[in-house]
Amino acid sequence: MSGLDPARSILQGAAEGPVIATGEALSFWGGVDPATGCVIDVHHPLHGVPLTGSILMMPSSRGSCTGSGVLLDLVLTGRGPAALIFSEPEDVLTLGALIASEMFASPLPVLRLAPEAFAALARAKTARIGDRTIEAEGLTIPVVPPATAALDLTDGDRAMLDGEEGVAVAQAMRIISAMAAQQGAQGLVDVTQAHIDGCIYASPANLIFAEKMAEMGAKVRIPATMNAISVDRANWQRQGVPPSFGDPAARLADAYVRMGCRPTFTCSPYLLDSAPGTGEAVAWAESNAVIFANSVLGARTAKHPDFLDLCIALTGRAPLSGVYLDKHRKARRIIDVELPAGADDAFWPLIGYLAGRAAPDRIPLIRGLAPAEPSRDDLKALCAAFGTTSAAPMLHVEGVTPEAGGAAVEDADHATITRDELTAAWSALNEGPDEIELVAIGSPHASLAECRALAEALDGRKRHPDVAVIVTAGHEVIAAARREGILARLQESGVQVLPDLCWCSISEPVFPTRTRAVMTNSGKYAHYGPGLSGRAVRFGSLADCVAAALTGRVPARMPDWLP
């Protein structure tokens, strides 16, 4: 078969293996087990499929920026796919493959195909990739080499690239330049701050990278906050975390602190006093934070993968592409929502989850939500859930978010989220049993208002003796909760409030080992939780979570605002 558009090589290399193709994007963090190479996202069509040695084809990645670290670890342990083929632009996994090649001499081919060629190759059982062609069962697709267009670098950029500011900065600038070239950027942009996501111990590869950069003398040159990490840094030994996990997880955090990062340890950096303002160019990783920063704060940041976040913090420069540019902040899909009367707080993560499914590859403008007057916490929940199902770095909510006016391009297409779809999504996220042993609050990290609402809902009542209730929150929020007396009220009800960790990084024994089913008000954790924890997860409102905390049960039912 001939006449197909050529494949564009993003990262060169040779590979052959079975073709595994899917029409749905996949997050490697929370979606692929680095210990086995198998897909663990229970909501994905490839659930249970081993990816090792495959030619993995999908439109793009989605979800967590930490996917780059998972891919790097898979490559370094020999459990990774043999090649990646996308049909749309993709950064997270591409960056992991770039680091594998650039710093560890382990190349992984990455290519991009036009839709017709992608569909043709997806039907093949096996494929062989070379520098010039892809061969598969009578199908030959030519391959064009990676983009080599020269970046318009400043004298300062060239000085860093030439090693005048040390080997770590030179390495960082090489990685940034390579990513900018594959993104089609013509130059770089100054950023005022960074948020580092690579401090989560997704795999040994994260530690190898960070300690190698630290040993090279890396120091951040712009303010850099840190995401939640994988242990309670001050208490992990007392909590019974085995040293085989706790020690490297703590060492990873320590490496970033040595490089000058601020040990904020929160996945909600928009709650900090350092949150950026409207129009401010920053470099954040962590998917929910990126979407909130762009959408709600009106700041500007690409969804930077792990490792690239540090490189940008070392140089203060990021590829001038994507949503740093006005033209790429426009909505290409308009989503109309049938707003149910009397919807409670569970509506916002549910609608974010569905909006991501409705716009998996593009920025949407969501209409019909303004009459509900969402709070900052409602929008936080919406953005976090949206990031689990969409690769887009932002969204607009008509009448709510700052750039929503005139946000849609003239030829934007249309979609609708109906009450039937809300009902179906609710059912899909509530397949667990009625009996609950754990209530999980704070994914992303809880705000002070959320902690206050939980304390008021519990109203001094003690949790059920067989139910653990855990809230994860940042240090600043916990300190404010202590000053206001909220922390004491929560503790009197038997609620444990943990710093440093977030639900996507908690592991046993901090995650109670006897748990069979979890209750959460987070659409993000309802999606990732089954794969990450191996437990059934139920989703609902804060009131549902309180009911589970007090009684140990949440009967399977639709909320009153759904048919």
Rounded to whole angstroms, the Cα distance separating 428 from 55 reads: 30
Residue pair 300/323 in contact (Cβ under 8 Å)? The answer is yes
Length of the chain, in residues: 563
> Is 87 known to be catalytic?
no
Q: Cα–Cα distance between 474 and 481 in angstroms, integer?
A: 11
The residues near 545 (Cβ < 8 Å, ≥ 6 apart) are: 439, 441, 454, 519, 520, 521
Selected catalytic residue, list 54, 64, 68, 505: 64
The H or E element containing residue 86 is strand 83-86
**Among the listed residues 30, 105, 90, 106, the one whose alpha carbon sits nearest the alpha carbon of residue 56:** 90
Give the 3-state secondary structure percentages of the chain, helix then strand then coil, rounded to 5: 35, 20, 45
Distance CA 532, CA 523 (A): 14
d(CA 298, CA 468): 37
Distance separating alpha carbons of residues 96 and 288, to the nearest angstrom? 20
Is residue 218 within 8 A of residue 168, CB to CB? The reply is yes
CA distance 32 to 51: 9
Please report how many Cα atoms fall inside a 13 Å half-sphere around the Cα of residue 192, on the Cβ side.
11
CB proximity list for 504: less than 8 A, separation 6 or greater: 29, 30, 64, 200, 228, 267, 443, 524, 525, 528, 532
CB 499 within 8 A of CB 476: no
Quote the DSSP letter at residue 277. Answer: -
Written as six digits, the tokens of 12 are 């060169």
The residues annotated with a catalytic role in the active site are 64
